[in-house]
Amino acid sequence: MASTKLDEIDRKILAELQADGRMTNVELAKRVGISAPPCLRRVRTLEEAGYIRGYHADVNPRELGFEVQVFAMVRLQSQAEADLSAFENRCRAWPLVRECHMLNGEIDFVLKCVAPDLSTFQSFLMGELTPADNVASVKTSLVIRCAKDEPGVPFDVLEDRLAKQA
């Protein structure tokens, strides 16, 4: 399903669940203006179609003792598909790597990493990331503070775009 094939109610459901994935189906149905049974059917359809990838709690890393957040910019020696896939698989296995994005340009990947302290991150950097197969270079930037961390997509932008197409 492309976003243009979603109707207004489907988009409202997605926006509401993105804002609060813990609400009951009854509350969700009320917010989007339909009854509970069709609302639940729509949610299940959106899940099966891949629009909803899952539900999770937004855990505060600092409260759990993860004081260090680092972005690591990784350049590989080879950009052959097999080598890119091998690096992505390696990133999935590293617990400190929380996000891995392939980029175009000089940097091949940017990794978002968390660690309890700088020493733990440094051990990971020097013992695992930098010496990993096919890694040519790694540049890191320590996060000082986060000004915005908003997951998902801006539904108001989507609605504006769809209104202009109509």
Render pLDDT for 6-42 as a digit per residue (tens, 0 to 9): 999 999 999 999 999 999 999 999 999 999 999 999 9
The pTM is what? 0.86
pLDDT band at 61 (very low <50, low <70, confident <90, very high): very high
- Name the residue ranges covered by the structural domains of the chain: 3-57, 62-142
Q: Residue 81's pLDDT is what?
A: 97
pLDDT band at 1 (very low <50, low <70, confident <90, very high): very low
Q: For 62-142, CATH number? A: 3.30.70.920
Contact yes or no for 138/125 (Cβ under 8 A)? yes
Do the first three CATH levels of 3-57 and 62-142 match, i.e. the same topology?
no
Q: Residue 143's pLDDT is what?
A: 97
Q: Residue 5's pLDDT is what?
A: 85
pLDDT band at 67 (very low <50, low <70, confident <90, very high): very high
- Which string of b and e fits 77-96 if b means at least 16 CB within 10 Å? eeeeeeebebbeebbeeeeb
The Cα-based distances of 132 to 63, 87, 88, 110, 135 in angstroms read 31, 8, 12, 15, 6
- Which string of b and e fits 49-73 if b means at least 16 CB within 10 Å? eebbeeeeeeeeeeeeebebbbebb
pLDDT band at 165 (very low <50, low <70, confident <90, very high): confident
Q: Mean pLDDT of all residues in the chain?
A: 95
Tell me yes or no: is domain 3-57 CATH 3.20.20.140: no
CA distance 6 to 137: 43
